[in-house]
Structures are given as structure tokens and as C-alpha cells.
Amino acid sequence: MQFLNISRNNLSGSIPKDIGNLKLLESLDLSWNKLSGHIPPSVSNLTSLTALNLSNNLLSGDIPTGSQLQTLEDPSIYGNNLGLCGPPLSIPCTNNSSSTEAVDGDHEHETVWLYYSVIAGTVFGFWVWFGALFFCKIWRFALFNRIDAMQRIVVHKMKRT
């Protein structure tokens, strides 16, 4: 793939870290989306890149440095990303960029805990439901009577067709 233009697609999330694996990519346009987070350092691995447009997103942090990115000196390719800093922009980076990386790490940690919580809640809910059916005879009979009634309705409708 030599050209990738997915601008104006209302994309959100972060730029994939594996984007640097597209070694033959000459033109990358991700402008006018809602991409957030850092520009992955792997972008500097795109040695064939001659055109880049990351403008009008929600990107933040340091602009990666690399042999190929240094040749792209037009600051407008990063325009309207209020959180970006470093060359070729005139906004110098402060030490806050490392704290932004820590925040990203915390976000990943929170996401993992969210997944664990959802799984634990689902398992707990299943066992509460299953336990109630196992120990409460009235509920069990009511459930199976309801299932039998639905089965009779389905069989009756299938016989009619």
C-alpha cells in the first residue's frame, strides 16, 4: 500500500502503534477525524513517507522525531491539534508530556480493570440467577412452564405454515 487517505471519516481512538509496519507507505492522510492520544513513534519508521496530514484531530504530546519525519517540515500537517508540541511546531514541549504518557498508562490500567469487573459481574449474576432457580422450586417450575408454553406456541405456528 502506497497511499492511505481516511480523512473526514469521523474516526475516534488512537493511531495504531503498528502503523510503522507499512514500510512502503508514501502518503498518509488522517486529517479531520477525532483521533486522540500520542502520535506513535513508529510513524518515524515510514521511510518512504513523503506526504503526511494529521491536522484537525485531538492529538497530544510530543511529535516523534525520526529521519523521515524531519523532512516533513510544514507545521500545517499537524495543525489544529491543540495538545501537540515540538518541531516543526513553534510550541516547545515541557516535561508534562511524560505525565501524559503516565495518564495513558493509567487509562490502559483502568480499561483492564473495567473488563475484569464486567466479567466478574456477569459470572456473579449468572450464579445468582442459576442459584435462585436451583434452590427455589416455585421459580424453577414457573420458568419451565413458561418455556413449555413458548414451545407449544412455536410448534403450533409451525404446523400452520
Domain range summary for the chain, segments of one domain joined by +: 3-85, 108-159
One-letter amino acid at 29 equals D
Q: What is the pLDDT of residue 113?
A: 87
- 4 to 28, 52, 58, 70: CA distances (angstroms): 5, 10, 19, 20
- Cβ atoms of residues 20 and 46 within 8 Å: yes
Looking at residue 12, its pLDDT comes to 92
pLDDT value at residue 106: 58
User: Which CATH number applies to 3-85: 3.80.10.10, 3.40.50.300, 2.60.40.10, 3.30.930.10?
Assistant: 3.80.10.10
Alpha-carbon torsion (56, 81, 100, 70), positive or negative: positive
Per-residue pLDDT at 99: 45
pLDDT of residue 121 exceeding 80, the answer is: yes
pLDDT for 40-67, tens place per residue? Answer: 999 988 889 999 999 999 999 999 987 7
Q: In the prediction, which pLDDT does 84 show?
A: 92
Say if residues 32 and 10 touch (Cβ distance below 8 Å): no
Please list, in sequence order, all residues whose beta carbon lies within 8 angstroms of the beta carbon of residue 137, skipping any fewer than 6 positions away: none
Average pLDDT, the chain: 87
pLDDT of 118 > 90? The answer is yes
pLDDT higher for 1 or 148?
148
Q: What is the pLDDT of residue 98?
A: 47
